[in-house]
Copies of this chain bind each other. A is one copy, B any other.
């Protein structure tokens, strides 16, 4: 779809998502924003707070993708081990970051800047802060790994602080239409022919079900807006040939 664009992998680190306690709220935000920046997400992994698993997985995916974005595991408690695991994966020491250390000590005072909080001021050597000047404890980037908080509001602040520094690819655009009263099985053959004529696009078909009956949404994604529009025009003709008037955009 966008062969020359940089690629991304999201690593969600935390037992709470794997156990079903927490609904992940970061993947969709990151996937959408990274797509807008022309850095399409190619894979997401959700893994537990186990050091060996984190280290192995970070190295596996950072070799495969241009960027790795991690969420979760950078707080002060015993289950927050992302930072030291990323240091181990990259092969650098895990050391106090002078800027964050000073900022946190000033904020908490010597007594409350305890060992748990000191861990949050400890980062892989050579890390670049993901900071907006207002975060007490920022995220960081080291090599091609970007380490962010798991709490969605904080993750978003961090990502937006980072976004402007990321080298962008061609933005991925999408064009869509939908129609009520159609089933995928009736349009699949025609849609496959359209996909084959636009190999640079990803054309996706998404059925939906309402009280009043089924419908289908078609989304064409790629880096060429004109191609996406042409493909969607062909899908509209396909829908009309099946006796259904399509509506531009996604279903409400």
Per the bound structure, the CA–CA distance linking A77 and B235 in Å amounts to 13
Number of copies: 2
Partner of A112, one of B12, B186, B203: B186
> Which residues does chain B contribute within 8 Å of A234, judged by CB atoms?
none
Number of interface residues of A (CB under 8 A): 64
- Whether A184 contacts B116 by the Cβ 8 Å rule is yes
Task: Encode A18-43 as 1/0 by CB contact (under 8 A) with B.
Answer: 11111110011111111100001111
- Whether B43 contacts A18 by the Cβ 8 Å rule is yes
- Whether B44 contacts A43 by the Cβ 8 Å rule is no
Would you give the shortest CB distance from A246 to chain B, in whole angstroms?
16
The answer to whether A75 and B19 touch (CB under 8 A), given A45-B44, A189-B116, is no
- Whether A44 contacts B19 by the Cβ 8 Å rule is no
Partner of A28, one of B20, B33, B34, B209: B20
- Whether B16 contacts A20 by the Cβ 8 Å rule is no
Would you give the shortest CB distance from A232 to chain B, in whole angstroms?
15
> Which residues does chain B contribute within 8 Å of A184, judged by CB atoms?
75-77, 116
Per the bound structure, the CA–CA distance linking A151 and B116 in Å amounts to 43
Within 8 A of B (CB), among A73-117: 75-79, 108, 112, 114-117
Would you give the shortest CB distance from A244 to chain B, in whole angstroms?
15
Per the bound structure, the CA–CA distance linking A40 and B23 in Å amounts to 16
